[in-house]
């Protein structure tokens, strides 16, 4: 038996290519004293992964060439030499894009699949959910009655942002790139409106959906949409910079927001967030979100693709918008 691993072979320029990766059959790892062996069931695919492929200072070190690609993971303990874990335990962690992982347990979280399916712990109760929760509440600071706009609205982060803003009594307008996604946001997630940026004039549609302007914008996409929103913010608006998926595969410089002086005119604020800063409070947030899930106030959709060999083409679905819901790779 071997352990299939996906490694970064070269730093991509623009869109990552298959040649930027290697898929290797490593020997099956064996746990030492204090360690566990985990069989990977699900691998989280996230837009942030594109940034991790680049050299240079960021909020986290770049993935090194020739090592297993970093990823959030969920799986089952298949061998344990650590008293805190038993064979059969479900755990989440970050052992990367490989069939089997070894851990000393310190970076593992035991999860209860009776409370929620294992995939939920990579989605709403995992990093994307935490990103949404802390980003919208601590940085967006939405007040009842305010208008909140979120891009990537049907995605793993955006869908949670919008639903939390609804829970807080806000008007919520999503922006997504597909009519089915927009319909889902309005009909199943309870957004007040959702704009299809591929078929609608976003500037006009936003004016119609937010006639009094925008108080909070949670940005997952950057680019032109950020500029359009900046042109429609209200006094003391908060712009949460969570990501800029439209810019990640650029070979040209990132498009800066030409309308940034709207921050001055409106005494508004644009602030970046990184989920890891909230690690100490993940547990509390997960409990509150699990409650919302049980009350039927927080829905989520998971998009599962299969096969560790499909890592790259599956990841690229995020950038073409072909996934619908939190994108997860199932390891067979």
Binding footprint of a copy of itself, residue count (CB under 8 A)? 33
DSSP state of 139: I
- Show the CA angle centred on residue 66, arms to residues 60 and 68, nearest 5°: 65
Pick from 78, 75, 81: nearest CA to 95 = 75
Q: Smaller CB distance to a copy of itself: residue 244 or 318?
A: 244
Residue 309 CB, nearest approach to a copy of itself (Å)? 32
218: β partners: 150, 240
Residue 198 CB, nearest approach to a copy of itself (Å)? 23
Interface with a copy of itself in residues 269-288 (CB under 8 A) = 269-274, 277
Which residue shows structure tokens 């940005």? 219
Residue 142 CB, nearest approach to a copy of itself (Å)? 17
Which residue shows structure tokens 């035991």? 110
Pick from 96, 95, 102, 99: nearest CA to 79 = 102
Span near a copy of itself by CB under 8 A; candidates 107-115, 240-248, 289-297, 317-325: 240-248
Which member of 265, 294, 309, 313 binds a copy of itself (CB under 8 A)? 265
Pick from 179, 141, 182: nearest CA to 159 = 182
Regarding 55 and contact with a copy of itself (CB under 8 A), the answer is no
Q: Smaller CB distance to a copy of itself: residue 147 or 314?
A: 147
Q: Smaller CB distance to a copy of itself: residue 15 or 247?
A: 247
Token digits for 255? Answer: 């498009």
Q: Smaller CB distance to a copy of itself: residue 234 or 322?
A: 234
d(CA 128, CA 243): 12
Which member of 15, 22, 104, 247 binds a copy of itself (CB under 8 A)? 247
Regarding 137 and contact with a copy of itself (CB under 8 A), the answer is no
Which residues neighbour 265 within 8 Å (Cβ) at sequence distance 6 or greater?
none
Which residues neighbour 187 within 8 Å (Cβ) at sequence distance 6 or greater?
none
Q: Smaller CB distance to a copy of itself: residue 41 or 131?
A: 131
Q: Smaller CB distance to a copy of itself: residue 191 or 218?
A: 218
Which member of 175, 242, 318, 331 binds a copy of itself (CB under 8 A)? 242
Interface with a copy of itself in residues 180-239 (CB under 8 A) = 222, 227
Q: Smaller CB distance to a copy of itself: residue 68 or 275?
A: 275
Pick from 140, 131, 69, 143: nearest CA to 285 = 131
Which member of 8, 36, 173, 241 binds a copy of itself (CB under 8 A)? 241
197: β partners: none
Residue 266 CB, nearest approach to a copy of itself (Å)? 7
d(CA 290, CA 109): 16
Pairing of strands 21-27, 2-8: antiparallel
Rg over alpha carbons for the chain, rounded to the nearest Å, is 20
Interface with a copy of itself in residues 56-85 (CB under 8 A) = 57-59
Regarding 158 and contact with a copy of itself (CB under 8 A), the answer is no
Q: Residues in the chain, how many? A: 332
Which residue shows structure tokens 């297993």? 68
Residue 315 CB, nearest approach to a copy of itself (Å)? 20
Residue 242 CB, nearest approach to a copy of itself (Å)? 7
Q: Smaller CB distance to a copy of itself: residue 233 or 290?
A: 233
d(CA 238, CA 231): 13
Regarding 14 and contact with a copy of itself (CB under 8 A), the answer is no
User: By the criterion CB under 8 A, which residues form the site for a copy of itself?
Assistant: 57-59, 222, 227, 241-244, 247, 253-274, 277
């Amino acid at each position: 038996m071997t352990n299939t691993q996906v490694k970064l072979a070269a730093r991509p320029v623009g869109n990552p290519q298959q040649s930027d990766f290697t898929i290797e059959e490593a020997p099956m790892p064996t746990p030492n004293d204090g360690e566990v062996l985990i069989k990977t069931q699900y691998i989280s695919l996230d837009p942030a992964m594109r940034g991790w492929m680049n050299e240079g200072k960021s909020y986290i070190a770049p993935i090194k060439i020739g090592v297993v690609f970093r990823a959030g993971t969920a799986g089952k303990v298949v061998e344990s030499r650590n008293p805190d874990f038993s064979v059969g335990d479900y755990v989440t962690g970050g052992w990367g894009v490989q069939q089997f992982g070894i851990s000393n347990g310190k970076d593992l979280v035991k999860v209860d699949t009776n409370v929620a399916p294992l995939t939920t712990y990579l989605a709403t109760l995992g990093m994307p959910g935490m990103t949404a929760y802390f980003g919208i509440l601590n940085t967006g600071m939405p007040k009842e009655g305010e208008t909140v706009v979120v891009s990537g609205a049907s995605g793993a982060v955006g869908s949670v942002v919008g639903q939390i803003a609804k829970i807080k009594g806000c008007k919520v307008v999503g922006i997504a790139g597909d009519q089915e996604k927009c319909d889902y946001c309005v009909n199943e997630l309870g957004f007040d409106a959702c704009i299809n940026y591929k078929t609608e004039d976003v500037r006009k549609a936003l004016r119609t959906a937010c006639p009094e302007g925008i108080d909070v914008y949670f940005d997952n996409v950057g680019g032109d949409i950020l500029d359009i929103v900046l042109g429609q913010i209200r006094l003391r608006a908060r712009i949460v910079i969570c990501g800029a998926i439209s810019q990640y595969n650029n070979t040209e410089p990132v498009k800066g927001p030409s309308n940034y002086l709207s921050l001055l005119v409106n005494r508004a604020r644009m602030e970046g967030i990184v989920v890891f800063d909230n690690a100490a409070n993940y547990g509390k947030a997960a409990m509150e979100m699990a409650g919302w899930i049980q009350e039927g106030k927080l829905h989520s959709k998971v998009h599962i693709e299969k096969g560790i060999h499909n890592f790259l083409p599956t990841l690229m679905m995020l950038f073409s918008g072909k996934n619908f819901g939190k994108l997860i790779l199932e390891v067979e």
